A and B are shown apart, each in its own frame.
Chain A
């Protein structure tokens, strides 16, 4: 049975799409048949981040309305064998997504197409799209920046996950929650300018899946349409790979959460006041 993962955050711009692309790709690269589904109807961007924007013909809404089959809409990734992308529609129709429609698509992905993992890239906010993206989830990755508004919104989303999802309504066990802290700057944390991993964890009180450092590699990856987890030379790429390893049950030590040691000369001359 396919495992449905929602990548959500409440707040926009914290890295949901980057994370969906990176995590989905890394899971698929380990041999699991994985689909990444863009739920951001009207503002689709997963296709751009994944570098398949020119191959979009049909989308999620077409499938729901019966205008295309799932086979026609799924875009097979050219880099990773078992990876597929299901783009969102650019329609401005707010009611394009329905719960029944989503349920059928997810069931088809599971039963007919035998996917192992379905990653749902949630839109920002707590409107219909975001609620539908999380409704059928088994696990949730809460993407959070070490910043007050993001942490507050994440807490809000945790409350919604615990009350407005299928598992909550059917009393079918809790959705497994994972905290993914992104855009983390260990040096700023050391200076007391940024909330630390411990601070955020203490406030949100959910298990930590990973910490992605603020990194040039993330923008570089989206510029070129390559999921950052494939850039294994980069710190962010490695951090995403670590997070996925943890997600799949491996015990991996946390990296990039403490300030990197500066050399003698850097310490003397490179000090910023």
Chain B
């Protein structure tokens, strides 16, 4: 009865709880599968070193560099995700970059144009077969969303990873 009233008055109905459950599960399950599967153990170290290298040129936090490892069928995908905040691009990056190398300076204007730039590099490597089937496409979607839009929610993981490596 109340839901009819809400509909008539144009009050948006709350999401059905089963839909919420499904969405939350898809995110957490895809996330945990990545963790528990035989991920190469160099990931935390790679993340730490990458962060150090990038920190030479841009002031970034550890959690702004994300290294993710995914398996799709017989292939493994290494995903590198770096978020550069706008104000730092304007104020800090230029002098550093000029000092470092002209090649890097070349890429700066492009990065400057956008407010928030995300550089994404993917690299494929062979993996051993017989591992668990990769998460379905639909399952992956919410995860990607999480990596690109909400760095905040991923913070603890990244920090933990970096700690493991050190």
Contacts and interface: CB of A to CB of B under 8 A. Distances in A.
16 contacts: A152-B25, A152-B28, A155-B32, A159-B36, A159-B37, A159-B132, A171-B130, A174-B130, A195-B25, A196-B18, A199-B18, A199-B22, A202-B139, A203-B25, A203-B29, A273-B1
Given A192-B16, A192-B17, A205 B133 contact: yes
Contacts of A193: 16-18
A203 B132 contact: no
Interface residues of A, number: 24
Contacts of B19: 192
Contact of B26 (A159, A196, A203): A203
Nearest to B1: A273
Nearest to A190: B18
Interface string B105-147: 0000000000000000000000000111101101100000000
Query: Does more than half of chain B's interface fall in helix, strand or loop, or is it mixed?
Result: helix
Interface in A27-44: none
Interface of B: 1, 16-19, 21-22, 24-26, 28-29, 32-33, 36-38, 130-133, 135-136, 138-139
Nearest to B2: A273
Contacts of B17: 192-193
B132 A151 contact: no
Given A162-B131, A199-B18, A155 B33 contact: yes
Contacts of A234: none
Contacts of A158: 132
A171 B21 CA distance: 35
A87 to B, nearest CB: 33
A148 interface: yes
A194 interface: yes
Interface string A200-230: 0011010000000000000000000000000
A56 interface: no
Given A152-B32, A203-B25, 18 more contacts: A151-B29, A152-B28, A155-B32, A156-B32, A159-B33, A159-B36, A163-B38, A174-B130, A193-B17, A195-B22, A202-B136, A202-B138, A202-B139, A203-B26, A203-B29, A205-B135, A205-B136, A273-B1
A89 to B, nearest CB: 31
Contacts of B25: 148, 151-152, 195, 199, 203
A20 B1 CA distance: 44
Contacts of B136: 202, 205
Given A158-B132, A202-B136, A202-B138, A148 B1 contact: no
B80 to A, nearest CB: 25
A194 B19 CA distance: 8
Given A155-B29, A203-B25, A162 B132 contact: yes
